[in-house]
Every structure is written in structure tokens, then in C-alpha cells.
Amino acid sequence: METGEVMTLNPSSRADIEKVVGVARDICGYEFAVYVGDLENGRESAIAMHAGLHDPDSGVLLVIDPKRRTMDIVTGSRVRRTLDDRACEFALLSLRSSLQADQLVAGIRDSVMMLAEHARAPRTLHLDEPA
């Protein structure tokens, strides 16, 4: 695959991803962010970018570096209570298969929705269902 040519976002792709992160935020209440681009220091750069979110403790960042062919998911400390690292690895597995098929937006959509479904807090009796 010729990276750099396929892994760019046109406005319609951006709109799709904006819609996906909005839906994911509505599902679980956490802030979602997707970054597609160059990461100089790999995961350290991703963590630094995650720290720049509105509320890093309640934020989930999905990073794709097409040049280095790496992908990262960074979750905040509050998100980790419901979205563990194993679920993030599952999402990356799904994303990897999509990226290998040159389906960037579909891979982002599927992985972000998977993360949101996992991050949704379990329903609590008497709190989520008042009498």
C-alpha cells in the first residue's frame, strides 16, 4: 500500500469522523478524539496530545500514523475504569484489519464505536432507573 496517498482525509471523511466521535461521546459520555498524521516520538507524542484534550482523565484518543504505520489508543485515568487496555487491543485489531484493506474511515468508525460501547458504564440499579 502506498501510504500517504490513501491515508489522507478529505472533507467528507472528516465529516464522517466528526459524526462518529460525536456519536461515541453520546454513547458513553467521554470525550473522543481521532488524530491521523505524523507522530515524531510515537506513543509519547500520543500521550502528550492526549494531555491536551479538554479533560484528559475523561478522554480517549485514537492516533494513526500512516508514515510509520503505527496506531495508538490513549485513555485517561477515569476512562480506564470502564475501558481497560484489553478492550483497546481488540479495537486496534479491528482497526488493523481495516487499514490493511485501505479502509481508513471505516476502520476508525468501527474501532471508535467499539471503544465507546466498551467505555459505556454498566447500568446501576436505583441510579439509572429511578422509580
Partner 1 sequence: MDPLVALGLFIGIPVGLAAVIAIFVMVPRGKYGSDAAEDITPGSALITSAPATPNPAVLPTTTGASVTGGAHGNW
The contact set with partner 1 (CB under 8 A) reads: 8-12, 14, 17-18, 21-22, 24-25, 29-38, 42-43, 47, 49-50, 53-59, 61, 69-80, 83-85, 88-89, 91-93, 95-96, 99-100, 127
Q: Which is nearer to partner 1, 4 or 131 (CB)?
A: 4
Asked if 69 and 3 touch (Cβ cutoff 8 Å), the reply is yes
CB of 2 to partner 1, least distance (A): 14
Torsion of CA 55, 57, 60, 66, to 10 degrees: 90
CB of 122 to partner 1, least distance (A): 12
CA neighbor of 69 nearest in space, from 45, 39, 49, 47:
39
CB of 127 to partner 1, least distance (A): 7
Q: Which is nearer to partner 1, 5 or 131 (CB)?
A: 5
Torsion of CA 16, 9, 66, 31, to 10 degrees: -40
